[in-house]
C-alpha cells in the first residue's frame, strides 16, 4: 500500500467518504449539489475548452508530489474511437488541476492507442472501428485551433511494433523519451485507478510498490466530472443512422467522421483496415 500522507482520523474520514459515494453516488442529492457534474463548456472561437466547475471545486489529493522544479507533461491515452467532448474536457480539467496545484504544465498529449489493442476488444455487429491514423485525424480536427492540447501517434505506433504485451507504463515511457527534462503524468479515470490504493479523487499518486506502475505518476479524475458522454454512444448512433448530439462532438468533426466512413465504404463493417 502506498503512503498517502494522511493522518489516522483524516485517512479514516477520506476512506469512509470514498466508500459512501460508491454506494450512494446516484442517490445522494446533497453530494450532487455539492459536487455538480462537470459541464462541457461550449467551444470558444479558438476551439479550446475551459475547465469544468467540478475540476475547480474538488480539491486535488496529492499523495506523491512530483518535483515542482520540473515542468509537467500530461499524457492522456485511450482508444478515442472516436474522440468526444468528454475526452477534451477531461484533458482541460487535468491541466487546470495541476496548474492550481502549482505545477507548470508544458504539454498535454492525447495519444490514441495501438490498433492491436483496439482489435483485441470485442465489437458489436455493425459498429465502426477506426484505425490509429483515422482516430488521430479526428482528434486533430476536434482540437484544431486549441494550442493547449496536441495529438501524438508515436506512442501508438511504438506499441504496435512492440513485441510482447503492451502495458500502460509504455505510454509514459514513450512520452518521457520525447520530454527527457519533464515529469510525465498519466491522466486516468477513477474507474481505472487500480494501480494504487487511492482514498478519494481527484488524486495525484504513483503506483503501489511491487507493481510495474511504481515510480510512475498518475492523475486520476472522479467520474462525476463527466456527463456520461461516450464513444460507444457515438458508434451506436452511427450504426443506427441517428444524429450525434453536438454536445458530444462538434458538427465539423461529425462531418469529418462520416466522410471517413463514406470514403472507405465501410458503413456496417466492424473495422476500417
For 97-139, the pLDDT digits (tens) are 999 999 999 999 999 999 998 887 766 666 778 999 999 999 9
SS3 state at 58: coil
Nearest to 90 by CA among 149, 165, 155, 156: 149
- CB-CB contact of 141 with 135 (8 Å): no
Q: How far apart are CA 272 and CA 265, in angstroms?
A: 9
Q: What per-residue confidence (pLDDT) applies to 46?
A: 36
Residue recorded with cell 469512509: 16
Q: Is the pLDDT of residue 11 over 50?
A: no
> Each residue of 179-216: pLDDT tens digit?
999 999 999 988 777 767 788 899 999 988 888 888 89
- CA 218, 224, 226, 232 dihedral sign is positive
For the entire predicted model, the pTM comes to 0.76
User: Across the chain, what does the average pLDDT equal?
Assistant: 78
- Residue 43 binned pLDDT confidence (cut-offs 50, 70, 90): very low
- For 19, what's the count of Cα atoms within 13 Å in the CB-facing half-sphere? 6
- CB-CB contact of 156 with 113 (8 Å): yes
- Write phi, then psi, for 109 (nearest 5 degrees): -110, 120
Q: How far apart are CA 85 and CA 46, in angstroms?
A: 15
Amino acid at each position: 500500500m502506498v503512503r498517502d500522507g494522511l493522518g489516522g482520523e483524516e485517512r479514516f474520514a477520506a476512506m469512509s467518504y470514498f466508500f459512501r459515494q460508491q454506494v450512494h453516488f446516484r442517490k445522494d442529492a446533497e453530494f450532487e449539489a455539492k459536487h455538480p457534474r462537470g459541464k462541457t463548456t461550449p467551444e470558444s472561437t479558438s476551439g479550446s475548452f475551459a475547465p469544468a466547475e467540478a475540476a475547480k471545486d474538488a480539491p486535488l489529493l496529492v499523495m506523491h508530489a512530483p518535483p515542482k522544479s520540473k515542468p509537467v507533461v500530461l499524457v492522456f491515452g485511450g482508444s478515442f474511437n472516436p474522440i468526444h467532448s468528454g475526452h477534451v474536457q477531461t484533458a482541460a480539467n487535468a491541466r487546470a488541476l495541476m496548474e492550481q496545484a502549482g505545477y507548470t504544465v508544458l504539454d498535454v498529449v492525447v495519444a490514441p492507442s495501438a490498433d492491436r489493442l483496439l482489435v483485441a476488444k470485442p465489437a458489436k455487429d455493425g459498429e465502426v472501428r477506426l484505425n490509429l491514423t483515422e482516430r488521430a485525424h479526428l482528434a486533430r480536427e476536434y482540437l484544431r485551433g486549441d494550442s493547449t492540447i496536441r495529438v501524438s501517434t508515436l506512442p501508438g505506433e511504438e506499441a504496435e511494433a512492440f513485441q510482447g504485451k503492451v502495458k500502460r507504463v509504455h505510454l509514459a515511457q514513450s512520452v518521457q523519451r520525447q520530454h527527457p527534462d519533464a515529469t510525465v503524468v498519466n491522466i486516468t479515470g477513477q474507474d481505472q485507478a487500480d494501480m494504487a490504493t487511492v482514498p478519494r479523487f481527484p488524486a495525484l499518486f504513483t503506483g503501489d510498490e511491487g507493481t510495474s506502475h511504481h515510480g510512475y505518476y498518475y492523475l486520476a479524475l472522479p467520474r462525476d466530472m463527466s456527463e456520461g458522454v461516450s464513444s460507444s454512444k457515438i458508434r451506436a448512433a452511427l450504426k443506427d443512422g441517428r444524429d450525434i448530439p453536438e454536445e458530444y462532438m462538434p458538427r465539423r468533426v461529425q462531418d469529418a467522421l462520416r466522410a471517413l466512413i463514406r470514403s472507405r465504404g465501410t458503413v456496417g463493417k466492424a473495422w476500417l483496415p
